[in-house]
Amino acid sequence: MKRTLLALLLPLLIAPLARAEIGTRDAILTDRADRPLTLRFFYPTTAREGAVMIGDNPALTGVRAIPGAPIVPGPAPLVIFSHGSGGNLTNQAWLAAALAERGMIAVSLNHPGTTTRDNGPPGSAALWERPADIRRVIDAVLQAGNGILPSGGQVAPDRIALIGHSLGGFTALWSLGARFDLARFEADCRTPASPAPCRIAKLYHLGKTAEAPALLAADQREPRLRAAVALDPGLARAFSPGSLMRVETPLLLIPATAPNPEMPPAAETGYLAAHLPPANHRVEPLAGAAHFSFLPECKPGGAALIAADDPDDAIICRDGPGGDRADLHRRTIGLVADFLEKSGF
């Protein structure tokens, strides 16, 4: 009997698992005429045909999804993605799609003023709009019948997370209640311990308008967030140590480990880890990762194509010593999925 049962089960045990299909749709959030937000959703679907590559181009690899596919009905966790300086909603699509395969609704957005082809003043000076963007997205997806989610889609209001890379990681910390201290940041930049964020702040005209100090210092905490992930965050030293100690939401920090004199991991993630409550955060350094390893995989010849347009941008295809981007992405997906599962997602 046992031998017969084993014979029946063996093909199932050794057969490769079928890849779950995911749907995708784009939307524009127009609740503010002065700041429309472009959104891209990935979500579990019951459809099985019609998948195409989304966000694919000659240099960078996209993800496979079915445009306009029906969404699996019923409440699902929501994960919001915030891109880095000059980035866009395609940057972490590889991670968003992986979470959608696991039953979550993932949505990425473009932050006006700090996104691709719109990255500088005057929009960038209003950096406080980034956490406001996150609040607007949450408001929109929780409002039934507004056409933002696919028909039948529903977000579980008690399972909302935020994932950000670089300046997006900063946005995540800000949204958890860390407080921007402009005077501290300006003094720190006279050192400077982390040159790249100071250079970006200067490029963005950060703090240079009359209203900026008060708006930067305002409490940006979003209480509906139940978890957050910061992928090699930047600008972290702008947060006051006292406010970091009061962050209660579970947080996963995944720093790159490649040497980076422009944004040393010890000066950014190390600063956060030294001041966040030990019980509420995890630090999982990603061996072999550089700062831009959290962007899509580069195709063969992709770096050369990017360099032809802008030589400085070829760095986005470089990983750290011994790093392989496909493997780095697999490990990141594993870390994030495990963290979210343990956080109740």
- In tens digits, the chain (345 residues) has pLDDT values of 333 333 333 333 333 344 679 999 999 999 999 999 999 999 999 999 999 999 999 999 999 999 999 999 989 999 999 999 999 999 999 999 999 999 999 999 999 999 999 999 999 999 999 999 999 999 999 997 788 998 889 999 999 999 999 999 999 999 999 999 999 999 999 998 999 999 999 999 999 999 999 999 999 999 999 999 999 999 999 999 999 999 999 999 999 999 999 999 999 999 999 999 999 999 999 999 999 999 999 999 999 999 998 898 999 999 999 999 999 999 999 999 999 999 999
Does residue 14 form part of some domain? no
Could you give the CA distance from residue 305 to residue 6 in angstroms, rounded to a whole number?
Answer: 53
Give pLDDT, residue 150. 87
Q: Does residue 13 lie within any of the structural domains?
A: no
> Residue 89 sits in a domain of what CATH number?
3.40.50.1820
Residue 8 belongs to a domain: no
How many domains does the chain divide into? 1
> Cα 122 from chain centroid?
24
Residue 275, H or E segment: helix 269-275
288 inside domain: yes
Please give the single-letter amino acid code of residue 174.
W
Residue with tokens 């017969």: 4
In a domain? residue 3: no
Q: Please, what's the b/e burial string for 258-285 (b: 16 or more CB within 10 A of its CB; e: otherwise)?
A: bebeebbbebbbebbbebbeeeebbbbe
Residue 69, pLDDT score = 97
Query: Are 264 and 194 in contact, with CB atoms under 8 Å apart?
Result: yes
β-pairing, 52-54 with 105-109?
unpaired
Which residue, among 276, 240, 246, 259, has the nearest Cα to 321 in the 3D structure?
Answer: 259
pLDDT for 146: 83
Task: State the pLDDT at residue 5.
Answer: 34
Q: For the chain, what is the radius of gyration of the CA atoms? A: 20
Residue 15 covered by a domain: no
Tell me if 118 is assigned to some domain. Answer: yes
pTM above 0.85, yes or no: yes
Bridge partners (DSSP) listed for residue 251: 228, 281
The residue ranges of DSSP E strands in the chain, in sequence order, are: 22-29, 37-44, 52-54, 63-67, 74-82, 105-109, 114-115, 118-119, 153-165, 227-231, 251-254, 281-283
State which residues form the domain around 306.
Answer: 20-342
Using a 10 angstrom Cβ sphere, with 0-12 exposed, 13-18 middle and 19 or more buried, the burial of residue 318 is middle
Hey, is 96 helix, strand or coil?
Answer: helix
**pLDDT single digits (tens) 297-307:** 999 999 999 99
Residue 11 placed within a domain: no
